[in-house]
Amino acid sequence: MTGFRFRDVWLVAYGPSIVSAVGHGAIMPVLALRARDLGADVSTAAAIVALTGVGMLLASLPAGALVARIGERRALVGAGFADAGAMALVALTDSVVALAVGVLLSGVCWTLFLIARQGFMIDVVPATHRARAMSLLGGSYRVGVLVGPLIGAGLISLTDLSSVFWLGAAMSVCASLLAALMPDLGEEKRAAAKASGHLAVWTVIASHRRVLATLGTAVVILGMSRSLRLSLLPLWADHLGLSAATTSLIFAGAAALDVAFMWPGGWLMDTRGRMVVAVPVVLSMAVACLLLPLATSVASVALVMGLIACGNGLGSGIVMTLGADAAPGEGRAQFLGAWRLCGDIGNTGGPLLVGAVAAVAPLATACLVVGVLGLAGAGWVGYWTHRVDRARVSAAGGRPVRQVPAG
């Protein structure tokens, strides 16, 4: 695929992600606060935030199977409209239970969206540009997360908290309309698979169980590290008495750092390997969690969030890149569903861990617990991503793996 240019695919590849992320970015900082407004305590609010990850967790494998049958374009369009309905429910309800249902459904839609857009990028981008393409894909989400909290803060100041969720619904509809413009690249392959019989999800998992049990575990740790900022930071801000608008502005500033680091991160992954990006993602979150109990002002909370954002931005697209590296040609969508499951276990585990510790101990204790676990996890992530780098260099250069330098 010579002569590849990112601008040739930017609208259909990145447009839906940016638009959808504006809505999700506005919602993320205030979801726990919405639960608190409806009467939930701190541990329940953390659990409700985690339900986005639970929905993703439950839907990962079925979503992979669905994408294999209907294709990326139909999956993206359907996911957007369903997510809009979930956000409308969250905006309208005065029940914590209904709020939980809406958040859970939104998570289901989001995992379908992620698998579909990842598969599309694998098809249209050459392997030499893969990490940069995936980094930009992750970065397109970050652009929305940068803009979303700013719009959300303005809406909150003019109206109330529920208006942010109406914004999310509108952006999901817009994402569906943009996704309808993308080509349906896998139609012939799906027709052939239908004639011969689609591979079962569990068959694909069994065939690739080793990579899922090893590198997939590293992805669990990456997902856990990155999800903590969505529950721990808003709850700490609420603990300090910061307003919802202030919390949104802090998230917006962090999102700007995310965007600034996304292209350097993609370039590093393509030229220097996956490990040099994966390890800082985990370490930045671990150190930030250890520092968070010392943050007692708006400025100090913003600094801690900035540290997380630097690592998170550097690792933009890392999970999708590793998944694309490992994905087979046959049964790819089913494999990507299993890959998403690994990430979703981490996405769910982080907020659930915070909620569990916060239920029996002060929130500061939860910060310290997850910080220590993150330090340990960085070693595991480094080991397995380094093995990926050695295998890639060996395959590209035809040299024995042992000749590849560490790092």
pLDDT tens digit sequence for 231-272: 788 888 888 888 878 887 887 788 778 778 888 888 899 888
Q: Residue 25, Cα to own-chain centre: how many angstroms?
A: 12
Q: Which has more confidence, 347 or 262? A: 262
Confidence band, pLDDT 50/70/90 cuts, at residue 45: confident
DSSP type of residue 399: -
Residues 101 and 52: their CA atoms lie apart, in Å, by 10
Show the CA angle centred on residue 202, arms to residues 200 and 206, nearest 5°: 120
Q: What is the pLDDT of residue 404?
A: 32
Give the chain's mean pLDDT. 84
Is pLDDT of 36 > 90? no
pLDDT tops 50 at residue 1: no
**Cα 394 to Cα 291: distance, rounded to the nearest angstrom:** 40
**Do 124 and 185 form a contact (C-beta atoms < 8 A)?**
yes
Residue 372: pLDDT over 70: yes
From CA 64, how far away is CA 4, in angstroms rounded? 27
**Distance (Å, whole) CA 9 – CA 1:** 14
Q: Which residue has the tokens 């697209």?
A: 317
**All residues at 6 or more sequence positions from 386 whose CB lies less than 8 Å from its CB, including other chains:** 273, 275, 406, 407
Half-sphere exposure of 216 (CA within 13 A, CB side): 19
As a whole number of angstroms, the distance between CA 360 and CA 369 comes to 13
Percent of the chain with pLDDT over 70: 93
What is the identity of the amino acid at 124? V
Residue type, 37: D
Q: Which residues contact 341 (CB under 8 A, 6 or more apart)?
A: 57, 60, 61
| Predicted local distance difference test score (pLDDT) of residue 210 | 92
Question: How many Å is the maximal CA-CA distance in the chain?
Answer: 63
- Check if the beta carbon of residue 80 is closer than 8 Å to that of residue 15: no
The C-alpha R_g of the chain, in whole angstroms, comes to 20
Residue 349 in tokens: 């585990």
pTM for this model (two decimals):
0.78
Taken in order of first residue, the domains within the chain and their CATH numbers are 8-403 (1.20.1250.20)
Dump pLDDT digits (tens) for 81-92: 999 999 999 988
* pLDDT (average), residues 352-376: 82
pLDDT confidence bin for 195, thresholds 50/70/90: low
DSSP 3-state percent helix, strand, coil across the chain (nearest 5): 85, 0, 15
- Band (pLDDT 50/70/90 cuts) for residue 80 is very high
User: Can you tell me the mean pLDDT for 203-224?
Assistant: 90
Query: What pLDDT was estimated at residue 2?
Result: 52
| Structure-block tokens of residue 152 | 């959300």
d(CA 337, CA 342): 9
Give the SS3 label for residue 199: coil
Which residue is listed with tokens 């969030």?
Answer: 305
Q: Among 175, 188, 186, 189, which Cα is nearest to 12's?
A: 175
Query: Cα(400)–Cα(407) distance, rounded to whole angstroms?
Result: 16
Phi–psi pair at 122, nearest 5 degrees: -60, -35
The single-letter code of the amino acid at 325 is: D
Helices (H), 241-274: 244-272
Of 121, 366, 156, give the one whose Cα is nearest residue 251.
156
Which residues, 6+ apart, have CB-to-CB distance to 374 below 8 Å?
221, 224, 225, 282, 283, 285, 286, 289
Q: Confidence band (pLDDT; 50, 70, 90) for 362?
A: confident
Distance CA 112, CA 213 (A): 22
Which amino acid is it at 215? L
- Confidence grade of residue 185 (pLDDT, cut at 50, 70, 90): confident
